[in-house]
Structure 1
Amino acid sequence: MEFNSDARVDTSQIEDARGRGGGGGGGGFGLPGGIPLPTGAGGNMGCLGVVGIIIFLAIQFFTSGSGGTGGGFDPQGGNGVSTQNLSAGDTGADIQSCNTDPNFLKRDDCRLALIINSVNAFWTQYLPQATPQKVQYRTAVTQLYTQGTQTGCGQATSAVGPFYCPNDEKAYIDMSFFSNELQQLGATNTEFVQAYVVAHEYGHHIQNILGILQQGQQMDQSGPSSGAVRIELMADCLAGVWANHATGTTDSSGVKIIKSISDQDIQSGLDAATKIGDDHIQQQTQGQVNPESFTHGTSKQRYNWFKKGIDTGELGQCDTFSGGI
């Protein structure tokens, strides 16, 4: 994945909360290697993340002020997150420095910021064209954090993984997820895999804008054909739609953001999709597969829907509610 060194990072789309430290409420437990497991399932659909069983999805915890059982979120506050900025993150530099750092493309956070810029730029232009009602896109901010943070959906810890909160329309990412949990599942930590994760969360933002999250909330929240699974597979497809158009996105001055995405990049993303299927994760962590507890879809489904978005580049091809999945 080749980024354009002439592109300018729009840091207004990133909230840098790294280094605040602190954790969320209790709950959950870890396997050797630090893979967290959920303590339960169910609840209403709130915030949504890219990974299934190893992540405490806010389906279980976030309902606009009411909490669920178990898990790594404490909507009531729990163990508060420290507001002291102990560190800015990966390089000790705040995200604002991406536009003054001559080596910014060597920094994970700056490249991730460009991906966020690209995703926002794409949907701003594409969404009104792709919807009969010419729905206008609302730019969503991504917060980068470490250990824990307070969100519009409650308090979160890093165990949650990347997720989207519809209450404040923000995506939340602790970048350690890419080198820790994701790799523990067998995925390769490439720039395009990181882009897939970001674009998936922004897929949930599109669903929120279009009212599709509410549609999914009215259905069962676990099971092979549940509303939760349909929501997540659609977000995978929407991530693929962005990927199809990514090299055509530009910054505010019209400078191309992403120069190229190779076939190898695409394959790494598709491989990551298979590694975060419910069946694969359950087999890895529990030694057995229980379809009735699925919340994100199987490896094959995630691969197929992500690829469908990549191949077609059309929002209309991402309908996971009208038929079989």
Structure 2
Amino acid sequence: MDFKDDAQLDSSQVESRGRGRIPGGGLAVGGGAAGILALIVALIFGINPGDITGGDPAPVGPGSDLSAQCKTGQDADQNEECRVVGVVNSIQDYWPKVAQNYEPAKTVMFSQQVNTACGAADSSVGPFYCPADRTVYLDLSFFKQLESRFGAKGGPFAQAYVIGHEYGHHVQNLLGTNARAEGDRQGPESGSVRLELQADCYAGAWAKNAYETGLFEKPFTKTDIDEALSAASAVGDDSIQERTQGRVNPDGFTHGTSAQRVKWFTTGYESGDPNRCDTFAGGI
């Protein structure tokens, strides 16, 4: 993934908040990865995570000045936070062209914990979208966990896939798709799984069209897409359950299997058409 050196970045779409320490070592999230997945589902549906964790985050200090350090595509190639800015800029250039009445969403990069309109969350949640404040929240340490804990290849485009997925949730929120999954939050055919797979497909559709946003030097390569597929596979419900619990329980699925996540990202990428992403019609 290579940005055009002279591409102009809009850092106003991304905020970098300061760093802090969580009292007592962190918010209590029971049940290993199953608990983490439940917390992510809570955030997607706008439930206060504090109702699950019973915790509140500590205050944090000031964040980075992105406007000073993230100005061009060259900055995005050399700095991880600037790369996030570039990816967000591309995604938010793409969606107004294909989704009527699209409204921009801010991304907040945080460290360890964050307060949101959906409640308090810590870094164990991973990246998430809060519909109550229409904001994507991203702790960059998650991408290291993808490699070290879940066996993903990592790489810049793994990050881009995750960001694209979270903005897929923003599109769903604007379209009212979230309502189709309410009250149906677990199980292999659940509304929650269908919602997540659709967000994967939306990420793929953006990836196919990202070059047209004018920020990238060339279309994404097979190596880039392989990084995305590796990340998608690593965060499948079956893969996470097998790694953390030693067994697979489909009744606890919230995001879809590794194979399903790869399938739906690929569907979006190969078609380049978000209209091909209707995971609520038929089998998945």
* Fold similarity call, TM over 0.5: yes
Q: CA offsets per residue over residues 158-182 of structure 1, 9 Å max, x none?
A: 0110000000000000001101244
From the superposition, tell whether residues 269 and 214 of structure 1 become closer, same or farther in structure 2 (CA, over 3 Å).
same
Q: CA offsets per residue over residues 206-225 of structure 1, 9 Å max, x none?
A: 1011110111114x210000
Deviation at 1:258, TM superposition (A): 4.9
Matches within 5 A, 1:156-235: 156-218=121-183, 220-235=184-199
> Is 1:236 matched with 2:200?
yes
From the superposition, tell whether residues 147 and 302 of structure 1 become closer, same or farther in structure 2 (CA, over 3 Å).
same
Q: Which residue of 2 is the match for residue 118 of structure 1?
A: 90
The letter of the residue matching 1:313 is: G
Matches within 5 A, 1:252-291: 256-291=215-250
Q: Which residue of 2 is the match for residue 141 of structure 1?
A: 106
C-alpha distance in structure 2 between counterparts of 1:321 and 1:227, whole Å = 8
State how many pairs are aligned: 282
> Is 1:82 matched with 2:84?
no
C-alpha distance in structure 1 between counterparts of 2:192 and 2:50, whole Å = 16
CA RMSD of aligned residues (A): 2.3
Q: Which residue of 2 is the match for residue 43 of structure 1?
A: none
The letter of the residue matching 2:210 is: A
C-alpha distance in structure 1 between counterparts of 2:46 and 2:161, whole Å = 27
Q: Which residue of 1 is the match for residue 278 of structure 2?
A: 319
From the superposition, tell whether residues 122 and 276 of structure 1 become closer, same or farther in structure 2 (CA, over 3 Å).
same
The letter of the residue matching 1:174 is: D
C-alpha distance in structure 2 between counterparts of 1:63 and 1:270, whole Å = 26
Q: Normalising by structure 2, what TM-score?
A: 0.91
Matches within 5 A, 1:56-71: 56-60=38-42, 70-71=52-53
C-alpha distance in structure 2 between counterparts of 1:298 and 1:148, whole Å = 28
The letter of the residue matching 1:59 is: V
Q: Which of 99, 105, 108 lines up with 2:80 in the alignment?
A: 108
Q: CA offsets per residue over residues 48-100 of structure 1, 9 Å max, x none?
A: xxxxxx545343467656667644xx5xxx33431433xx4xxxx53222346
Q: Which residue of 2 is the match for residue 131 of structure 1?
A: none
Q: Normalising by structure 1, what TM-score?
A: 0.80
C-alpha distance in structure 1 between counterparts of 2:52 and 2:39, whole Å = 11
**Contact preservation (8 Å) 1:62, 1:154:** no
> Is 1:94 matched with 2:90?
no
From the superposition, tell whether residues 298 and 212 of structure 1 become closer, same or farther in structure 2 (CA, over 3 Å).
same
Matches within 5 A, 1:36-75: 36-39=32-35, 54-60=36-42, 70-71=52-53, 74=54
**Contact preservation (8 Å) 1:61, 1:69:** no
> Is 1:298 matched with 2:257?
yes
The letter of the residue matching 2:109 is: L
Deviation at 1:16, TM superposition (A): 1.2
Q: Aligned with 2:218: secondary structure?
A: strand
Higher helix share: 2
**Contact preservation (8 Å) 2:18, 2:60:** no
| Percent of residue pairs identical | 40
The letter of the residue matching 1:198 is: I
Q: Aligned with 1:288: secondary structure?
A: coil
Structure 2 unaligned spans of 5+: none
